[in-house]
Structure 1
């Protein structure tokens, strides 16, 4: 994930191709696809598009029809990121035509294009077309052609699940995630992927109010991620935060605080103290401390959050106003006025005040937890 370093190395590789390789070689095309991937990851979509077009021209010159179709999918993805929807549809349809003619109507490559078209039509508000393409893809995954791997089917189901989640059909999304996980259970080397599915299932279960099941799903994901060495990743921090929210709904306030505290440390390290994900965990931790009776700690965190949000969003932003109201309520409870000079985050997070085991008397919804 060190994209700046990867870009430097890939650029040197392309310079070597230009000096020593024949024009439009397959090797150069492969490296241009890699450079496109790097540029896309960095948000430089125009450069990514340029490299993919050059790679496509090289593949066409070498008669690599299926590779051209695969590149067309990548080009469609870039157009979709740029909100150039008509061009994205054209690229996807080109790839679809080739895959159908070379691989057959029921090949997972065809289903993959259907899933992309479903996503595109969802993003453009054409929900009927989106659902139709989802159903077409699922029909292929239900009766895959010989040679289709479990990973291909599971990946496709995860993509379609995300669309069902987006259109507010969490139960359908959950069913697809469960099927995907079952497919991968006996596949070696898929523990991190399964953990990701379990984490997403936890989110789905949380959305439909099945908090105990959500907690179990998050716990399974956390256990796998700890075992695989992912315990310092930003994703792990986000999962800990979601598990903490499930604990809140189950009134496991002490466990919620521990999870939020661990998530805070990871996200500070990986994303920085001002990142939206980190601020969300701070907010949850402040709400938890409030519920536990640690009002002073909650006030200090909220003062920091408000300071950052005012600097980044402006004083009139609705999020800033919400935080200001929460802080005012706590200050009123504590009998204080707002401290204009907020303590440093280092001092704030180094606080070791004793935990007060006190259940919240107010409604949980008023505490301001953030997913």
Structure 2
């Protein structure tokens, strides 16, 4: 992999990546398929919980099963390598992640052709890897390529297209191409609203990106209704005591703090702190930032 560029200013943890687990027809599932699927699903569950060591263990077992049962050119192996690559990216093992993604891409192109949704997913993940390491030009090429492939193979209103639009917009945000970023986030938001409905928690993905961008631009009056909408959606869909509600309260409070509206920010921080204390315990060190903000 080429030398990394400067660290991005916009957190690249916001970028959407694709974890793969192929859906197999029940009539065609063999004992080997079932074992491979078991390892893949267990790895995805552990990954979702942040248990990266256990996820790696399961996906390495899936890789071994795929190589021994299906062969080195099988699409199931490519899916396994893709997931392992994302795990290694999160762990900062960038050369390993890049090697696995390129191998997965080669396998998938050979098995499915260059115009396939799984090719788009791997290309998207390559873009995320490049963005994480500051290779913004390469990341933009990958994100644009993934967007085109997804539009062609899945349709312009698919949620995968929305993810690609948001990823490209985050890149433009980091590069100060603000108007392009706003337009792409708005397109992504419209797709999510049509596909999921305006009150679905999935809509808050694009809302959060757009509100954050407006905040960075000092367009606070445009950011506030978006943050309030995020809070309302999460409270309704997830319940008043969900950690994502606390995150939404923090974001709205931070917006007010930036404007010097401390009387509005303080009760929101305190409400967020109460949710976190209930979930984590009052002595958890993760509460320190919110405690500090609540003491405005």
Match 1:145 to one of 149, 153, 165: 153
- Report if aligned partners of 1:112, 1:156 keep a CA contact under 8 Å in 2: no
Match of 1:32 among 9, 28, 39: 39
Residues 1:52 and 2:52 aligned together: no
Cα RMSD, aligned residues only:
3.0
Paired with 2:295 and 2:107, the residues of 1 have a C-alpha distance of 55
1:175 aligns with 2:183: yes
Q: Distance in 1 between matches of 2:117 and 2:181?
A: 19
- Give SS of 1:231's match: coil
> Unaligned regions of 5+ residues in structure 1, if any?
1-22, 288-371
Query: 1:201 and 1:275 mapped to 2: Cα distance?
Result: 31
Per-residue Cα deviation, 1:33-76 (whole angstroms, up to 9, x for no partner): 12222443455544433322321333341469222221111011
Question: 2:97 corresponds to which residue?
Answer: 88
Q: Within 5 Å, which residues of 2 pair with 1:122-141?
A: 122-141=131-150
> In the alignment, what sits opposite 1:187?
195
Q: Contact 1:244–1:256 at 8 Å: present in 2 too?
A: yes
Structure 2 gap ranges (5+): 1-29
How far apart, in 1, do the equivalents of 2:283 and 2:208 lie? Answer: 24
Per mean C-alpha deviation after superposition, the further-off stretch among 154-163 and 175-184 is 154-163
Post-superposition shift, 1:213?
0.8
4+ residue segments displaced more than 6 Å = none
SS at 1:134 equivalent? helix
- How many equivalent residue pairs? 265
Q: Distance in 2 between matches of 1:202 and 1:275?
A: 29
The separation in 1 between residues aligned to 2:278 and 2:178, in whole angstroms, is 32
Pair 1:214 & 2:259 matched: no
TM-superposition CA deviations, 1:84-137 (whole Å, max 9, x none): 322211211122123334444343322322221122223333333222222322
The aligned runs of 1:319-334 (5 Å cut-off) are none
Of residues 151, 157, 162, the one that matches 1:154 is: 162
Match runs of 1:250-261 below 5 Å: 250=259, 252-261=261-270
With the length of structure 2 as denominator, give the TM-score of the two structures: 0.76
Residue aligned with 1:105, SS: coil
2:67 pairs with 1:71 = no
